[in-house]
Amino acid sequence: MNILIVTQYFWPENFRVNDLASGLIERGHKVTVLTGIPNYPEGRFYPGYGFPGKHRDVYQGVDICRVPLISRGTSKGVRLAVNFISFALFGALFGPFLCRSRFDVIYVFEVSPITAAFPAILMKWLRKCPLQLHVLDLWPESLIATDAVRSPLVLRVVDNIVRFIYRHSNQILVQSRGFRLSLLERGVDGAKIYYFPSSAEKLFSSQAAIADAQLPAQLPDGFIVLFAGNVGEAQDFPTILRAAEKLLMHQEIKFVILGDGRRFEWVKEEVARRRLENVYLLGRFPLETMPAFFAKADALLVTLKNDPIFALTVPAKLQSYMAFGKPVAAALNGEGRDIIEQSKSGVVAPSSDADGLAEVILELHQLTPEQRSEMGANGRAYYLEHFDREMLLDRLTRLMEDLSFQTI
């Protein structure tokens, strides 16, 4: 098949769509990506990119077409909204000229913002090919849960935009079964909704990649609880820091935070203000280095805010943790919590429960290495049964092939 992927974020930005695109190439498909100038998460264009920079790239056989956009800046308020709108606008303006092929299917990778689907809808009309929307964030629910938007008027506008995009998608994939109700409430035909969970990049389960991984930074001695990913509003860092504060007396327990995001500076200031000597903010590292960090960790940490929308969400890092085979320390509700409990891959407290999270980490610390290893093996086995990369890529290919036969 000839596949067009539309996504605001792509390599060298670190998003799972990178691995998905290369997986489709591995299966013999031709893949073109329509995306923007890389600027996530720092909010400024990557070196070598920009308005006068290169707008064509190749990544592992994937042809990349980049359109201009306004960078995220500090990722707040009006500037972030302008960033979202600019990709939708310039993607619609330049996409048809940059991506001239006759495509069999258009796939939209829909992490926030959902407005990234607008160029895909235009391309669908112009190229007369079906559109597959992969919903990984629910709008407007995510905007409300992260307190990004408060205006009822703006939320009504966003809701109408979401309904428009759903209506013009031929097939909708949801990363969580809990998302289905939100779509049905917005008038989506249940027959075009498919459960399609996230997987993990190949490197998290490749023994060769794990063996070759080099640790790029020194880690502290002790029992390491490692968080890897976006340092944002949804990840509930107030709860993580309160749990770390409660565990200060256990000097052997160390929290290591890998990543960057909108809340990074706040977290840094809070760590200093509270004198949390057990919290180490190491910043962001390339994806390829994560196996080396994971290998040194005793437990891998995942948290989400206590909000109904996040109870429906399965944080993408959970699949990476389970694929690697390390025990999980979590503060989650809903579907993410259910997965950990069903798989017996870790210990989980309710979302936003700092006391509970501290107890979870203490419980894992008090287990023997063999018991923690068994938890990790349980997670790995569950991952292979439910989230295996190759299995899900095969399923995605079948869904795309079925969709490509539809008449538009």
Q: Please name the residue that has the structure tokens 């112009």.
A: 126
The predicted structure's pLDDT at residue 218: 86
Domains of the chain by residue range: 2-199+388-404, 203-386
When pLDDT is cut at 50, 70 and 90, the band that residue 407 belongs to is low
Q: Band of the pLDDT at 169, cuts 50, 70, 90?
A: very high
For residue 293, name the pLDDT band (cuts at 50, 70, 90): very high
Determine the Cα–Cα distance for residues 251 and 90; give it in Å rounded to an integer. Answer: 52
Angle made by CA atoms 294, 289, 260, in degrees to the nearest 5: 85
- Dihedral sign, Cα of residue 397, residue 399, residue 402, residue 404: negative
Per-residue confidence band for 152, with pLDDT thresholds at 50, 70 and 90: confident
- The answer to whether residue 131 scores a pLDDT higher than 70 is yes
Written as six digits, the tokens of 400 are 């795309």
CB 135 within 8 A of CB 110: yes
Q: What is the pLDDT at residue 309?
A: 86
Give the full edge-to-edge strand order of the sheet including 279-283.
279-283, 253-258, 223-228, 299-303, 328-331, 346-349
What local confidence, expressed as pLDDT, does residue 23 receive? 96
Strands (E), 68-207: 105-110, 131-135, 171-174, 193-195
Within 10 Å of residue 198's Cβ, how many Cβ atoms?
A: 20
CB 400 within 8 A of CB 132: yes
CA nearest to 229, candidates 255, 199, 201, 259: 259
Buried b / exposed e across 247-277, counting CB within 10 Å, b at 16+? Answer: beeeeebbbbbbbbbbbbeebeebbeeeebe
What is d(CA 390, CA 408) in angstroms, rounded to the nearest whole number?
30
- The overall average pLDDT reported for the chain is 93
Q: What distance in Å separates the CA atoms of residue 51 and residue 66, rounded to the nearest whole number?
A: 10
Question: Is 256 in contact with 217 (CB distance < 8 Å)?
Answer: no
Whether residue 107 is predicted with pLDDT greater than 60 in this model: the reply is yes
CA angle 31, 37, 43 (to 5 degrees): 135
Same fold, 2-199+388-404 and 203-386: yes
357/371 Cα distance (integer angstroms): 19
Q: Which residues on adjacent β-strands are paired with residue 38?
A: none
pLDDT band at 154 (very low <50, low <70, confident <90, very high): confident
For range 119-137, the mean pLDDT: 96
Q: Please state at what angle helix 237-246 crosses helix 354-366, rounded to 10 degrees.
A: 60
How far is the CA of 202 from the CAs of 16, 114, 199, 214, 290, in angstroms? 10, 27, 9, 17, 12
Rounded distance between C-alpha atoms, residue 130 and residue 237, angstroms: 40
pLDDT for residue 375: 97
SS3 171: strand
Is 69 a residue whose pLDDT tops 80? Answer: yes
User: What's the pLDDT at 73?
Assistant: 84
- Give the percent of the chain with pLDDT over 70: 97
Nearest CA to 63 out of 92, 101, 96, 94 is that of 101
Read off the pLDDT of each residue in 342-354 and give the average, rounded to a whole number: 97
- Whether 361 has a pLDDT exceeding 80, the answer reads yes
Tell me the per-residue pLDDT of 186-243, one tens digit each, with 9 for 90 and over. 999 999 999 999 999 888 876 655 656 678 888 999 999 999 999 989 999 999 999 9
Q: Within 10 A of 97 (CB to CB), how many other CB atoms are there?
A: 9
Which of 45-54, 251-260, 278-287, 373-382 is least confident?
A: 45-54
Q: How far is CA 262 from the centre of its chain?
A: 15
Q: What is the pTM of this model?
A: 0.91
272 DSSP β-pair partners: none
**pLDDT of res. 211:** 59
pLDDT of 210? 64
**SS3 of the chain: helix, strand, coil, percent, to 5:** 45, 15, 35
CA 193 and chain centroid, separation: 20
**DSSP class of 401:** H
Pick the more confident residue, 348 or 218. Answer: 348
d(CA 381, CA 339): 12
Record: fold of 2-199+388-404: Rossmann fold (3.40.50)
**203-386: which CATH number, 3.40.50.2000, 3.40.50.1820, 3.30.310.10, 3.90.79.10?**
3.40.50.2000
pLDDT at 146: 76
* pLDDT average, residue stretch 30-57: 90
For tokens 């029992």, the residue is: 223
Q: Which residue has the higher pLDDT, 143 or 247?
A: 247
The letter for the amino acid at 220 is P
